[in-house]
Amino acid sequence: MTELLQEARVALWTIWNRRWLALGVAWGVCVLGWLVVALIPNSYQSEARIFVQLDDMLADQIGITAAARDKDIERIRQTLTSSVNLEKIVRSTRLGDTVSNPSQMQTAVAGLTKSIKMVAEGDPGSHVFKITATSGRRDLSDADNAQLSQDIAQQLIDIFKEQNLGGSRGELRDTISFMDQQLAERSKQLEDAEQRRLAFESKYPDLAGGTDAIISQLNGYRAELRNVEADRAAAQSALAAIDGQMASTPKTLDTPGNGGPKAALAQARANLSALQARGLTDSHPDVIAAQKQIAALGKQAQGPGGDYGTPNPAYGSLQSIRVERQATVEALTSRAAALRQQIMTVEANQAQAPAVAGEAKQISRDYEVLKAQYDKLLADREELRLRGQVETEHSSVKFNVIDPPSTPRKPAAPNRPLLLFGVLFIGIAAGCGVAYAASKVRATFATAGKLETTFGLPVIGTVSLAMTDAGRALAKRKRKLFMAAAGSLGGLFVVLLAAEFVQRGMIA
């Protein structure tokens, strides 16, 4: 702590020892700084607040909700600062006095864009818009800049009111008229596309659906052919089973007491079965003899006069079933042949007319696109028409100016008193800094302790400053001059502050 106090004493002594240098630097910095501050033009800001309430029960019922209206207000807020509207403001205020060509108009619009701010506040369904307009032109006086900022804010309110209350309805009518023209054009295009599609379908009925339809049709025929082939194979198997049953079923039955070849044949077969049941093989003499007897009796039974029995009912039933199954096999065979022919025809069409298939697909796609566009335009047109009727007959948009554009009484920027004080502080700090830096260039020792610390040697003693009466009088005069010069710097600061407040009072 002692070292810090010593360093502070050294710094103060150093600055006081070179006080004229510090004062001169402070005067130079302050004069230059205050001149720069004086050259900064004042900017005046006019503020206004407007209230827009959106509340319509009928609009909510037909789908025009407060959120939809909020979007409209937001859209108008964004377009409020468009180039067209800003050009209107330029022409209707003093900003247009110096505008004589498009280039100057663009420059004026660009500057006006930076000086306008519009902020929306509030809950959904009602909004408070705060409009802020700033003017700080060098070629205008403070009073003119204050009036110009108020005029800009008033023009913004007028444009906002026009676009919200009157402009939207006219814009809605123009939009509906434009959509009617588009619907008429789309209707004509849709009719032409429909005629082209009908003509193509009548000329190429098999290719009307395009390549996709051909492939789908071909896949359908092939799947059906596979099913028919499977059914025919099953029917043929059933027919073969019936043929096997009929082969083992006699056409007639022998009645008891009825002789003849058939009865003998039956008896011979029974004997053969008995021999085989005893375990005799086909090479046994008795079995061979029985087989020869059966063969002989079989020939006799098939010859003239061999049928001596009654018709077998089972055989007749099997014969009827066989006729039915034979008809099923023939029908399935015919259906399979017809499907193969159709598949060949479709494959031939696909191979011979790829361009026609592509044309069919293009015609179908064009028709669907035009129909979708027509339906969407029609729905949008009806929605806009209904919305226009609601806004015309049942609109409850409330527009009020809460705070009209204010007439600024003091500049919004710059904060000149604060800048003047800041320049004074910087000037004094710069003077002290220069004086302290100069002491470091020409090293001196303010205290004996500093000298002892620097060289590491004990200081035996110090010689006090001895001044004559004339020297003391001269030093006193110099202090008075210094105080006067320093007071003049402070006095100039006070004069500049007073001039600033007087100027503000003149604007008010």
> What string of H, E and C letters represents the secondary structure of 315-341?
HHHHHHHHHHHHHHHHHHHHHHHHHHH
Q: Which residues contact 276 (CB under 8 A, 6 or more apart)?
A: 287
Local confidence band at 137 (pLDDT 50, 70, 90 cut-offs): confident
The mean per-residue pLDDT over the stretch 158-186 comes to 68
Predicted confidence at residue 239, as pLDDT, reads 84
pLDDT surpasses 50 at 257: no
Closest CA to 133 of 158, 115, 119: 115
Short-list 202, 209, 227, 225, CA closest to 350: 209
- Cα separation, 125 vs 59, in Å, equals 12
Q: List residues bridging with 252 in a β-sheet.
A: 311
Identity of the residue numbered 377 = L
**Is it the case that residue 32 has pLDDT exceeding 90?**
yes
Tell me if 236 sits within 8 A of 329, measured CB to CB. Answer: yes
Q: Which two tokens stand for residue 212?
A: 């996709």
The answer to which of 34-48, 206-220, 402-416 has the lowest mean pLDDT is 206-220
Of 2, 15, 1, nearest to 446 (Cα)?
Answer: 15
Residue 92: the pLDDT is: 82
Name the nearest CA neighbour of 165 among 387, 339, 399.
399
Q: Which of 14-18, 104-108, 211-215, 285-289 has the lowest mean pLDDT?
A: 211-215
Q: With the C-alpha atoms ordered 367, 373, 376, 378, is the resulting torsion angle positive or negative?
A: negative
Higher-scoring residue by pLDDT: 476, 265:
476
Q: Does domain 41-180+396-403 have CATH number 3.30.70?
A: yes
pTM for the predicted model, two decimal places? 0.44
Cα→Cα distances 145→81, 111, 408, Å: 20, 14, 9
Mean pLDDT of the chain: 75
Which range, of 80-84, 165-169, 231-235, 415-419, averages the lowest pLDDT?
A: 165-169
Give the percent of the chain with pLDDT over 90.
3
CA 461 to chain CA mean position, Å: 86
**Residues 265-310: pLDDT tens digits?**
777 777 778 777 777 777 777 778 888 888 877 776 665 544 445 6
For range 82-94, the mean pLDDT = 81
Query: How high is the pLDDT of residue 473?
Result: 82
Sorted by where each begins, the domain ranges of the chain are 2-38+415-507, 41-180+396-403, 252-311
In this prediction, residue 182 carries a pLDDT of 79
Q: DSSP 3-state helix, strand, coil percentages of the chain (rounded to 5)?
A: 75, 5, 20
Distance between CA atoms of 80 and 52, rounded to whole angstroms?
15
**Digit-coded pLDDT (tens) for 90-99:** 888 888 777 8
pLDDT at 425: 93
Question: Of 317, 305, 350, whose CA–CA distance to 251 is shortest?
Answer: 317
Amino acid 167: pLDDT = 47
Q: Which contiguous run of DSSP H or E holds residue 212?
A: helix 210-247
Encode pLDDT of 439-475 as tens digits: 776 666 656 666 667 677 777 767 666 667 787 788 7
Q: Please give the structure tokens belonging to residue 271.
A: 């004997």
Which pLDDT belongs to residue 316? 74
Local structure of 53: helix, strand or coil: strand
